[in-house]
Structure 1
Amino acid sequence: MNLRTLLSPVSLLGLCGLSVLPAVAEIPPRLQTPLEEIVVVANKVPRSIHRIAANVSVLEKQEIEDTLSTSMRDLFQYAPGIDTESAGTRFGEESFNIRGIGGNRVALLIDGVPLADQFDVGRFSNATRDFINTGLVQRAEVLHGPASTLYGSDAIGGVVAMYTPDPDDVLRGQRHGGNALTTYRDGDSSHHLQATLASELGKTAGALSFIGGAAIREGHEFESGSVADRVDTKDYSRRSLLLKLVADDYAGHSWRLGYIHQASDAQSDLRSMLGSGRFRSTTKLLGDDEATLDLLTLEYDLNALTPWFDSSLLRSYHLRSDVEQNTIDERGRARSPVSIDRAFAFQQDTTGVELNLQKQINGDRLVHQIGAGLEFQISDVQEQRDATQTSLPSGQTTNAVLGEVFPVRDFPNSETTKSGAYLEYTVGDQNWSLIAALRADRFKLGVRPDDIYLEDNADVDVVSLDEFDVSPKLGLIYHLNDRADVYLQYAHGFRAPPFEDANIGLDIPLFNIRAIPNPDLKSESSNGVDVGFRWIGEKSRFHLGYFRTRYDDFIETKVRLGLDPASGRILFQSQNLTNAKISGVEAGWEFQLPANFSVNGALFVANGTDLQNQRPLDSVGPDQLVVGAAWRSAEGRRTIRVNGTLSGKAQVSDPSPSFFRPDNYALVDLYYSEQLSRSWTLRAALQNLTNETYWHWSSVRGLESNDPILATLARPGRQASMSVNFVW
C-alpha cells in the first residue's frame, strides 16, 4: 500500500482513531488561549491568526524542549512540508525547504534580521545557513508560500522566522530569574548545555531589564542505520552567546539592544568516497571547517498612540558571517602520488535598517488597518578558493592543481543593495476581512573585480544589475463565527538574480571547460493561490488548505551551452530556464479529549512539475503524515507522548534505476516528561522505536544508487535522548 492510499479520507479517520491510544505529551501551550493566537511573521506586527489569509506554523519553546530538539533538523521534524536541506556528512544542514522551494529562495530570519546566503562550489566548499542554535530560540514561525510582498526578493519560497527570548520570557513576573538545560543524544553522542539569566531593575517608567544566554553543543557524526560501523567520522563543537538589553522610556516606548555571537568548528574524516569515482586514487580525505556569526541589532518600538500611527518599529542591524573550510586530499594511489591542500573562504557583511508603521481606524461598521514599511540593506560578499599540491615522493609544491592556478574567485567581490517599500491595507467587520498589499523593490548588484578574479577572467565583461519589481497580494477572509474562518489569497513573489549566478567565473583548461557571466539574467517570479479553512476552539483546532503556485524564469546554475568555436572550450552559463508549478494540500489538527488525553496530526501532500521538460520536480518532498497522542497527569506533572510519522516515496525528475529513490518508511517516537519539583524537570525520548532503516529525501536527492556515500546518509536507528531542566 502506498502513502497516498493511506492518506485517503477513510484511512485518515482510522489513523486519528488509532491515535487516541494511551500516550503522553504536555498539551501545547497555544491550546490554552486558542481564540487569540498571535503571530508576527505574516504582517511583521503581532496579529490574530484569524486576520491572516495564509498558512502559518508556530513552534514554541515548550515544544522545542519537550522534543529534546538541538538542531535545525529537529525543529520541524513533525511539521510536514517544512524540510531541512542537507549537504552530506561533512557540511550537514544547509537551509530550509518549504513546499518544495528551498535554499536562498526561503528567507531565514533571526529577530527580524535576514541571515547570510548559502553558497557552494564543487565537493570541498559549502557555506551553509546553519546558524541556528535551538537553545536561544524562544519561538519560531513559518510563513508558507511566496512572501515577497512583505519580505522582498529573499522570500519567493516563504519565511522561517526565529525569535530569541526577551527578559520577560525568563522573568515571568519576578525581578530575577534564569534557567539551565542539559541534553544528551546518543544518535550523534552529543551533549547540549544552555543557560539563561535575566534581571529587571525597577518596574516604573524608565525600567531597564537584561537577559544573557549561552549555549554549547558538542558531538560526533550521526550513526547510520544502514551500516554497523561509522565510515565517515566527524567531531563538532558549536558555541553561542546572546546578550539583550531592554529599556522602557518615560513615554512608554521600548529600546532593544541585542548581540548574538556564534562560532562552530568541525573536523571530518571522509572515508566513504575513497577509491571510487573522482576519488579512486584518494587515500585520505580530511576536512577542517570553521564558521562564525556576529549580529548586532538596535530596535526602537514606539507603542504610544499618535495622530499618524498607533505603533512603529525602527530596527537597524549589522551582520557578519565568516566561513573557512580546509581540505586535505591525499592521492596515494595516483600514478604520481600527491597531497592537495585546499582552502575556501566566504565572508558576507550586511548592514540594514527597517521601519514598520501601523495604524488602526475604527469606523461605525468597519475597522481599517494600515501597515507601511521601508527597508534598506547593503551587503558585501567575498569568496576565495586556494590550493597547493605537494608531490609525496619529492616534496615539490605547486599552486597549479588539476588545471586551475590558485588562488581563484568564483565571482568578483560583490556589493548588493536592496531597498523596498510596502503598503498593506486591511478592512473588515465581524464577517469579512479584505487584505490588499503592494511592495516595490529595487535590487542593485555592483562588482569590484580584483587581480585574483581578473587573472582567470581577463577577457570577461563583468555584469552589474539594476532590477525593479512590484509584488502585489490580495486576500479575503470570511469569518464563519468567532472560531472558524475561510480564507483565499493571491500572492506574487520574485527573486533577483543572485550575485554568484550573474558573474559566475570558472576556467579549467585541463577539462576544457569555462563558465561565463550572463548579462541577460532576469528575476525569478511566482504567482500563488492559497485557499483554506481554519477552526480554533477552546479544546480543539483544525486547519485544511490547498495551494497552487507557478514559478517562472527559475535560474539554473552552470547550464551547458556547448562548444565555443572561437576558443574551443565547452561553455557554461547560468540561465533562466525552468518554469515550474507546485500544488498540494496541507492539514493540521489538535484535539483535547477527556481524561487528560489529546491527539494531534499534520499532513502534506504535494506535486511539483518542471514545465520546461514535463518532469516531476524532485525538490518537492514526499507525501507525509504525522499523527500523535498525548496524556498528562491530573496535576500536570507527568506527560507522555507518542508520535508516528509516515513518509511516502518522493517524486524524481529521472525515474531511471540509476538514481536513488528511498522507500516509504514509518517511524514511532516516544517522549516522557516528569516535573520533579517546582524547579526541576526531567525529559527522555526514544526515537525510531522499530529501528527502521530510512533516508530523508532532502539528504539524498540527486544521488545515484551506487553512490558510496548513501549508506552513511541513512538516518540513525533506535536512539535515546535525555535532558534535565532547572528553572529559578
Structure 2
Amino acid sequence: MNHTLTFGGLCLTLLPLLAAQANDAELNPVTVTGTRAPTDLSQAPLIIDIIDRDDAVLATASRVEDVLSRQPGLHVAGQGRRNGQTLSMRGFGSKGVLVRLDGVRQDISTGHIGNFFLDPGLIQEVQIARGALSSLYGSNAMGGVVSFTSVNANDLLAPGEDSGVRLSVGGATASDEMRGSLTAFGRRDTANGQVDGLFSIGRSESGDIRRAGGDEAEEDATLNSLLLKGGWEPSDDQRVFMSWQHYDERATQPANPQQLSTDASNPLRDRDVVSNNVQLGHRWQPSAATEVTSQLTFSQQDIDEPLANRTLERAGLQSDGYHTIDHGWLSQTLVFGAELEQARQRPDGEANGFPKADIDTQAAYLDTTLTAGSYLKNGGAGQFDVGLGARYDRYDASGQNGADSVHDQVSPRFRLAWRPDDALMLFSGYAEAFRAPSLSELYANERHFAGFCAGPAFCTPDNYWIPNPNLSPESSHTWESGVVWHQGDWQVRASYFDTRADDFIDTHVDIMAGTTQAVNVQRAQLWGYDARVTWQPNAFPLLTSFAGLSEVSGKDRDSGEPLGSQTPLEATLGSEVALYNSDIRLGWQARFAQSFDKQGDDDRLPGYGLHDVHLAWQLTPAVDTSLRLANVGDKVWYRPDGSLGDGRSLFATLNWQW
C-alpha cells in the first residue's frame, strides 16, 4: 500500500468536515503529558488520548492490557499475565516507549518480564502521548510516553462532602478473577491550612487466563496493593504532598510469562514481584500562569523466583515547572525542569541477563512557545505558534568489571503552528529522541543458555553474554505534521510522521562461538499516521461517537527489509449514549485491522474485527456499577508480534460509597 496516498485519502475524507458551519465548541485546558503545561487540546501539536475513571475500560480493568488493548496503533504484548506485559507504539518496542507512574520512570529490564507493576484499580487517569518526546522526558521517549496517575481524595469526594469510604468489588470471567478494595479518604480545614488524605488497600485472586478462541495461559496469581497519599496546603499557592504505592503479586506462571504454553523449555515456577513507589514533594503555584513542582522519589522493583532474585532501586530529585508571560502583542509559555537520578541493579543467585551495575543520570530541559498574530476575521494573517526546546541528558554507567559507559545527549525540538481562526490549527515540527542502553545490554556477562546437541556429531557449547560498554544510544529524527479542528458537533485531530532511527540496539547470538552480545546494527525508517474524530451533536448532547485510525510501517534503510514494531492499518469506532439524567450510559466500541505480516517472519496474520459493549449505571447516589463485555464474538486475533489476543470476557465492578 502507498501510505502517503492513504494519508492523503484520509485528509480528503476530512475536508468536508472542515467546510461545515457550526458553533464553536468550548474546550478546557488540561495538563498534557506532551507539553508539561495546562493546554487546550485544540492547541496541542500532537496526538494524545486520555482515559479517566469514568471510562468503562479503566473502571473495570484489572490489568494494563484491559486498559490499553483497544487503543489504535498501540499494542500490549504478552498473554494477559501482568508480569509479561510490554508496549509497542509508533514503530518502537517497549524500550522505546517511556512508562511513568505518578511521574516516576518504570523501566526495569530483565528477560521477558514487563514493566507494568501497577493496579489499575488505583489509577485515576492515563495519558498516551504519541511522538518523539525526549526533549521533555529524556531516554526511552522515542515512540511516545504513557503516563499513569493514581487517584487522590479530591477525585473521590462527593459534592459537599469532606470524607468518605468506598468499597469496590469486581472480577473478570476470562481469568476467573475476583477482586476487592476498600478506600478511605477525606479533607479538613485547620488553622494551619487544608489537609487531605487517602488510604486504599486491594486484593485480587485469579487463575488461568482465557485467550481468543479458547486457548488458556496457565497462571495462579494473587495481587495485594496499597496506596497511601496525603497533602497539606499551608496557603493558597503552596502544597506539600506525599504518596506510597505498593504492589505485591505472587504467581505461579511460566518462566517466560509472554509465552502461551508451558513445556520443558518453559516450565511453571513461583514468582513474587514487589514494587514500591514513594514520593515527597512540594508544589508552588502563585498564579494560574506559574507552577513549580519539586519532588524526591524512590522506587524499587524486586523480582524473586527460585534461585534468582533481581532488584532495581531508583532514587531521584526532580523539579518541573511552567510560566506564561503576556507581552501584549506576544505571549510566551516557558516549560523547564531538571532531574538527578541514580539507578542500581542488584542480582542474586542465577539471575540471568541482570548484572550488578549502576547508572547516574543528570538532565535539564527548557522549552518555549511564542504566540503572536490575530485571526483572519480580525484582519490579521492568522495566529502563529513557534516552539523551541531542548533537553540535555548525561548518563554515567558502571559495571562490576569496572568498565564505564559515559554518554551525553542533546534532544532538540522545533514546531510551528498556524491558526487562521479559533477552530482550526495546522502544525508541523521536528524532534530528536534517544534511548540509552540498559544496564543489562551494557554489562550482562553470565550464562545465557545451556549448550545442546542436535545430533550425535553436532553439539554446541554453553552460551554466555559478552559485555559491551561501548554501545551507543539509539537515536531518532522525526518530522510530524498535522491538523486539529473543532467546530460545533465535530472535533478532528490527525498527523503524519516520518522517523529516521539510527544505532538500533540488537542482540547478536553466535551459537557456535557460544556468545551473545548487544550491538548497534540497524538504520531504520518508520512512518505512519494517526487520526481521531469525535462527534457530539448539539441536538442530542447525551450521544458521543468517535473514530480513530492508525498505521505504522518500517524498513531497514540499508537492506529495505521490514523493520520495527509495525502495526497494520487499524480503525477504532465507538459510541456512547447517556439515559435517565445520565444515570445510565450504554456504549459500544470496535477495533478493526487489515491482515498484516508477522514481525520478523514471513507468515501473514489475518485481519480482525473486535466488538466490546459496556454499561455504566448509577443505581443510587451511593451505589454504581460498570459492566463491559470484551471481544463479544470471541474473535481469534493476533498482535503484530504473533501473540494471541485477549478472548471474550465479562468485566464487572460494583462500588458503594458512603
Which category of TM-score, normalised to the shorter sequence, fits these structures?
0.7 to 0.9
CA separation of 1:541 and 1:291: change in aligned 2, threshold 3 A: same
* Map 1:468-617 → 2, pairs under 5 A: 468-507=408-447, 510=451, 511-512=460-461, 513-537=463-487, 539-560=489-510, 569-593=513-537, 594-595=539-540, 596-617=542-563
Deviation at 1:503, TM superposition (A): 1.8
Deviation at 1:529, TM superposition (A): 1.4
CA separation of 1:204 and 1:161: change in aligned 2, threshold 3 A: farther
Deviation at 1:427, TM superposition (A): 0.8
1:464 — aligned with what? Answer: 404
Deviation at 1:11, TM superposition (A): 14
* Map 1:128-277 → 2, pairs under 5 A: 128-171=114-157, 172-202=159-189, 206-227=193-214, 230=216, 232-250=217-235, 252-268=237-253
Deviation at 1:102, TM superposition (A): 2.1
Asked if 1:85 is matched to 2:31, the reply is: no
Asked if 1:448 is matched to 2:392, the reply is: no
1:715 — aligned with what? Answer: 646
CA distance in structure 1 between the partners assigned to 2:562 and 2:240 by the alignment:
49
CA separation of 1:97 and 1:64: change in aligned 2, threshold 3 A: farther
CA contact (8 A) 1:671 1:686 kept: yes
CA distance in structure 1 between the partners assigned to 2:249 and 2:353 by the alignment:
24
Q: Report the 3-state secondary structure (helix = DSSP H, G, I; strand = E; otherwise coil) of the residue aligned with 1:119.
A: coil
Asked if 1:630 is matched to 2:630, the reply is: no
CA distance in structure 2 between the partners assigned to 1:722 and 1:587 by the alignment:
31
CA distance in structure 1 between the partners assigned to 2:10 and 2:385 by the alignment:
34
AA aligned to 2:296 is S
Q: Report the 3-state secondary structure (helix = DSSP H, G, I; strand = E; otherwise coil) of the residue aligned with 2:299.
A: strand
CA contact (8 A) 2:109 2:438 kept: no
Listed one character per residue, the Cα deviations across residues 613-642 of structure 1 (whole Å, up to 9, x for unaligned) are 321125112221111122221521222111
Listed one character per residue, the Cα deviations across residues 13-34 of structure 1 (whole Å, up to 9, x for unaligned) are 79x99xxxxxxxxxxxxxx985
Listed one character per residue, the Cα deviations across residues 458-514 of structure 1 (whole Å, up to 9, x for unaligned) are xxxx53111011110011121232232211121100122221112231457843244
CA separation of 1:135 and 1:668: change in aligned 2, threshold 3 A: same
CA distance in structure 2 between the partners assigned to 1:409 and 1:66 by the alignment:
34
CA contact (8 A) 2:262 2:268 kept: no
What is the TM-score when the length of structure 2 is the normalising length? 0.88
1:436 — aligned with what? Answer: 388
CA separation of 1:234 and 1:514: change in aligned 2, threshold 3 A: closer
AA aligned to 2:491 is R
Deviation at 1:96, TM superposition (A): 1.9
CA contact (8 A) 2:139 2:436 kept: yes
Match of 1:110 among 101, 113, 117: 101
2:91 — aligned with what? Answer: 100
2:615 — aligned with what? Answer: 672
Listed one character per residue, the Cα deviations across residues 258-303 of structure 1 (whole Å, up to 9, x for unaligned) are 111110011137997567xxx4xx7x93211110011110110011
Q: Report the 3-state secondary structure (helix = DSSP H, G, I; strand = E; otherwise coil) of the residue aligned with 2:139.
A: helix
CA distance in structure 2 between the partners assigned to 1:359 and 1:241 by the alignment:
35
Listed one character per residue, the Cα deviations across residues 568-621 of structure 1 (whole Å, up to 9, x for unaligned) are x34432111011111111111111234443321111122111224321125112
AA aligned to 1:316 is L
AA aligned to 1:720 is L
AA aligned to 2:389 is A
1:313 — aligned with what? Answer: 293
CA separation of 1:724 and 1:8: change in aligned 2, threshold 3 A: farther
2:330 — aligned with what? Answer: 366
Task: Select the structure of larger CA radius of gyration.
Answer: 1
1:69 — aligned with what? Answer: 61
Moved more, 353-362 or 294-303: 353-362
AA aligned to 1:52 is A
2:588 — aligned with what? Answer: 642
CA contact (8 A) 1:66 1:673 kept: no
Deviation at 1:358, TM superposition (A): 2.4
Listed one character per residue, the Cα deviations across residues 27-78 of structure 1 (whole Å, up to 9, x for unaligned) are xxxxx98512413312323333244222221111111567622210111233
CA contact (8 A) 1:642 1:669 kept: yes
CA contact (8 A) 1:639 1:673 kept: yes
Q: As a proportion of its length, which structure holds more strand?
A: 2
CA contact (8 A) 2:56 2:626 kept: no
**Structure 2: gaps (5+ residues):** 18-23, 375-382, 452-459
CA distance in structure 2 between the partners assigned to 1:170 and 1:367 by the alignment:
36
CA distance in structure 2 between the partners assigned to 1:577 and 1:421 by the alignment:
29
1:354 — aligned with what? Answer: 318
CA distance in structure 2 between the partners assigned to 1:242 and 1:80 by the alignment:
30
CA separation of 1:637 and 1:190: change in aligned 2, threshold 3 A: same
CA distance in structure 2 between the partners assigned to 1:325 and 1:530 by the alignment:
44
CA contact (8 A) 1:479 1:486 kept: yes
CA separation of 1:603 and 1:357: change in aligned 2, threshold 3 A: same
2:456 — aligned with what? Answer: none
CA contact (8 A) 2:72 2:549 kept: yes
Q: Report the 3-state secondary structure (helix = DSSP H, G, I; strand = E; otherwise coil) of the residue aligned with 1:70.
A: coil
CA separation of 1:471 and 1:7: change in aligned 2, threshold 3 A: closer
Deviation at 1:10, TM superposition (A): 9.3
CA separation of 1:155 and 1:600: change in aligned 2, threshold 3 A: same
CA distance in structure 2 between the partners assigned to 1:472 and 1:274 by the alignment:
46
CA distance in structure 2 between the partners assigned to 1:211 and 1:91 by the alignment:
25
Asked if 1:724 is matched to 2:657, the reply is: no
CA contact (8 A) 2:83 2:115 kept: no
Q: Report the 3-state secondary structure (helix = DSSP H, G, I; strand = E; otherwise coil) of the residue aligned with 1:36.
A: coil
2:377 — aligned with what? Answer: none
CA distance in structure 2 between the partners assigned to 1:720 and 1:3 by the alignment:
37
AA aligned to 1:692 is K
What is the alpha-carbon root mean square deviation over aligned residues? 3.2
Asked if 1:620 is matched to 2:602, the reply is: no
CA distance in structure 2 between the partners assigned to 1:4 and 1:424 by the alignment:
31
Moved more, 4-13 or 690-699: 4-13
CA contact (8 A) 2:56 2:614 kept: no
1:691 — aligned with what? Answer: 634
CA contact (8 A) 1:357 1:371 kept: yes
Q: Report the 3-state secondary structure (helix = DSSP H, G, I; strand = E; otherwise coil) of the residue aligned with 1:135.
A: helix
CA separation of 1:448 and 1:600: change in aligned 2, threshold 3 A: same
Deviation at 1:177, TM superposition (A): 2.4
Deviation at 1:524, TM superposition (A): 1.0
1:323 — aligned with what? Answer: 303
CA contact (8 A) 1:3 1:648 kept: no
AA aligned to 2:231 is V
AA aligned to 1:592 is Q
CA distance in structure 1 between the partners assigned to 2:619 and 2:82 by the alignment:
39
CA separation of 1:36 and 1:10: change in aligned 2, threshold 3 A: closer
2:281 — aligned with what? Answer: 299
Listed one character per residue, the Cα deviations across residues 232-266 of structure 1 (whole Å, up to 9, x for unaligned) are 52111111111111110136300111111110011
